[in-house]
Amino acid sequence: MSHKFHPTVLREYDIRGIIGETLGAEDARAIGRGFATLLRQAGGKKVAVGYDGRVSSPMLEHALVEGLTSSGCDVVRVGMGPTPMLYYAEASADDVDGGIQITGSHNPANYNGFKMVFQGRPFFGADIQEIGRLAAEGAWSDGTGTVEKREVLEAYVERMLAGLEGIDRERLSSLRVGWDAGNGAAGPALEILTARLPGEHFCLFTEVDGNFPNHHPDPTMPENLEDLRKLVAEKNLDFGIAFDGDGDRIGAIDGEGRIIWGDQLLMIYAEDLLRDRPGSTIIADVKASRALFERVAELGGEPLMWKTGHSLIKSKMKETKAPLAGEMSGHVFFADTYYGYDDALYAGVRLIAAAARLGKSVTALRGAMPDVLNTPEMRFQVDESRKFAAIDEVKQRLQGTDADVNDTDGVRVTTADGWWLLRASNTQDVLVARAESDSAEGLERLLRQIDEQLAASGLERGAQAAH
């Protein structure tokens, strides 16, 4: 018996598709069989399985468990919850060798997918392609695994609260914070967490609803932060925090309603962490502001620019022993007194802790950051066969010029005006562009350089692609 996946489903960082069109129960079963086969070959046996609040998630979970057990792995079912709760179940249990979360992350409601951990490391790239190869050949191991249920929600919340250890609770008692779960899987954990946090907390949309009736759970889109902004304004709160659909990406606004982007949050976390761990490596992806890298160096840290993608960042953290990393998309990774995975709820706790330890409000910390002009992430459609080739052409054209080029992930060019970025998405048939400058005129010049490079490769920036 073999199985063939739809060609769009096996992606660089995870597995994702449209329910009933490109992804279904048979795919979940094949993923379970492939993952179990690889884990057993590596000497592992037990897999934790969790799922988010999407309507299709229980169906996929049932089929995944069938696949895992029929290839000889034992399964620990941790139930519905945010992706970081599954990561916690895998990282904190001595008897668990891998983990799979069924989640569509921040995608529309008809999507779903799988994020995986394999013996404590991210499972992505070539690992995911190997799942496809095993399925095509039907080269799965056979066996009969057991299934048990394990409650981890309470322990997970308790572990997050440790992020406030050593801080005087009196200092935190006047804190007033707004939270928006966006009807995503973080809702139940958030309710328990905020009930135990000092201060006053106001929560929006904690009821899990896979149809996302209030707004789409993607905190990188300003329109999805409007409800939170209104709450912060009406209640005169100190700041607000929002989550994506599976709780591994954070969004934030300060007390004045200003968005605190992913790289700006990292500046706050870095300032807090580097006081106790001077000289530490802090990783951010190529889309992050130059202000972040300069600030980390100014604070005595070692800034490291790396490739976009949560799996790639986690791997680089392990390699460099970096205690902190983050992405513009809101993935933040703490490995100093935590496990190194991206957990937006824990990142919320650490924002509270950072402000308390630094003795400044989140609004003051945000207000002290340099004012720069930058574009949102611009994404535009390009044929799959052309996206990487186009980036290579840009690199070749820039060779031999006096351009300051970083090709860690695509092309990031620094000029007197600021910087611009062009990279190929690993998960979609799009190119991604971004630019940042101190002035409107500088930003215009940078955008013209992007347009010139695209035109030279027969492309244009005009055709914006949806997320």
Tens of pLDDT, residue by residue over 271-322, are 999 999 999 999 999 999 999 999 999 999 999 999 998 889 999 999 999 9
**Adjacency order of strands within the sheet including 259-260:** 200-204, 176-180, 239-243, 250-254, 259-260
**Residue ranges making up the domain that contains 191:** 164-367
Q: Which residue type occupies 456?
A: A
- Cα angle: 308, vertex 313, 318; to 5 degrees: 165
Tell whether 338 and 208 lie within a shared domain.
Answer: yes
Q: Which of 336, 351, 367 is the last residue of a domain?
A: 367
Tell whether 177 and 303 lie within a shared domain.
Answer: yes
Measured between alpha carbons, how far is residue 120 from residues 39, 96, 123, 127 in Å? 12, 9, 9, 14
Identify the CATH number of the domain in which residue 430 sits: 3.30.310.50
Structural domain contains residue 274: yes
Rg (CA), the chain: 22
Beta strand extents in 351-465 (DSSP E only): 373-374, 378-381, 404-406, 411-415, 418-424, 430-437
Q: What is the pLDDT of residue 278?
A: 97
Provide the domain count of the chain. Answer: 3
Q: Which of 129, 152, 175 is the last residue of a domain?
A: 152
Structural domain contains residue 71: yes
Q: In Å, how far from its chain's centre is CA 197?
A: 24
Terminal Cα distance for the chain, rounded: 36
Tell whether 147 and 173 lie within a shared domain.
Answer: no
Q: Which two structure tokens, joined as six digits, stand for 89?
A: 């179940």
* SS3 call for 248: coil
pLDDT by 10s per residue, the chain, length 467:
899 999 989 988 789 999 999 999 999 999 999 999 999 999 999 999 999 999 999 999 999 999 999 999 999 999 999 999 999 999 999 999 999 999 998 888 899 999 999 999 999 999 999 999 999 999 999 999 999 999 999 999 999 999 999 998 888 999 999 999 999 999 999 999 999 999 999 999 999 999 999 999 999 999 999 999 999 999 999 999 999 999 999 999 999 999 999 999 999 999 999 999 999 999 999 999 999 999 999 999 999 999 998 889 999 999 999 999 999 999 999 999 999 999 999 999 999 999 999 999 999 999 999 989 999 888 888 887 899 999 999 999 998 888 899 999 999 999 999 999 999 987 778 899 999 999 999 999 999 999 999 999 998 876 454 43
Quick check: is 105 catalytic? yes
Tokens 């930058």 -> residue: 374
Q: Which two structure tokens, joined as six digits, stand for 226?
A: 């409007």
Q: What is the pLDDT of residue 98?
A: 98
d(Cα 265, Cα 292) in Å, to the nearest integer?
A: 9
Residue among 115, 377, 85 nearest 220 (CA): 377
* SS3 call for 74: strand
Tell whether 25 and 95 lie within a shared domain.
Answer: yes
Q: What is the pLDDT of residue 467?
A: 38
* SS3 call for 346: helix
Structural domain contains residue 313: yes
Count the residues in the chain: 467
Tell whether 21 and 134 lie within a shared domain.
Answer: yes
Tell whether 38 and 175 lie within a shared domain.
Answer: no
d(Cα 301, Cα 281) in Å, to the nearest integer?
A: 6
Tell whether 175 and 144 lie within a shared domain.
Answer: no
Beta-bridge mates of residue 98: 47, 118
**What dihedral angle (degrees, nearest 10) is formed by the CA atoms of 341, 17, 56, 225?**
60
d(Cα 86, Cα 80) in Å, to the nearest integer?
A: 9
Q: What is the pLDDT of residue 99?
A: 98
Q: What is the pLDDT of residue 462?
A: 64
Q: What is the pLDDT of residue 28?
A: 98
Q: What is the pLDDT of residue 154?
A: 97
Q: What is the pLDDT of residue 377?
A: 85
Looking at residue 342, the DSSP 8-state letter turns out to be B
d(Cα 287, Cα 423) in Å, to the nearest integer?
A: 10
Cβ(289)–Cβ(263) below 8 Å: yes
**DSSP string covering 373-406, please?**
EE---EEEE--HHHHHHHHHHHHHHHTTSS-EEE
Tell whether 184 and 283 lie within a shared domain.
Answer: yes
* SS3 call for 308: coil
Structural domain contains residue 384: yes
Identify the CATH number of the domain in which residue 84 sits: 3.40.120.10
Structural domain contains residue 4: no
Structural domain contains residue 1: no
Tokens 């299709």 -> residue: 56
Tell whether 275 and 381 lie within a shared domain.
Answer: no
Structural domain contains residue 159: no
Mean of pLDDT over the chain: 94
Instruction: Give the number of C-alpha atoms closer than 13 A to the C-alpha of residue 135, restricted to the C-beta side.
Output: 23
DSSP H or E stretch at residue 453 = helix 440-456
Tell whether 331 and 390 lie within a shared domain.
Answer: no
Q: Which of 152, 176, 192 is the last residue of a domain?
A: 152
d(Cα 78, Cα 29) in Å, to the nearest integer?
A: 18
Q: What is the 3-state secondary structure (H, E, C) of 182-234?
A: CCCCCHHHHHHHHHHCCCEEEEECCCCCCCCCCCCCCCCCHHHHHHHHHHHHH
In the chain, count of helices (H) and strands (E)? 15, 22
Tell whether 212 and 253 lie within a shared domain.
Answer: yes
Structural domain contains residue 461: no
d(Cα 297, Cα 320) in Å, to the nearest integer?
A: 17
Tell whether 147 and 179 lie within a shared domain.
Answer: no
Q: In Å, how far from its chain's centre is CA 111?
A: 17
Q: What is the pLDDT of residue 342?
A: 96
Q: Which of 56, 70, 71, 105 is catalytic?
A: 105
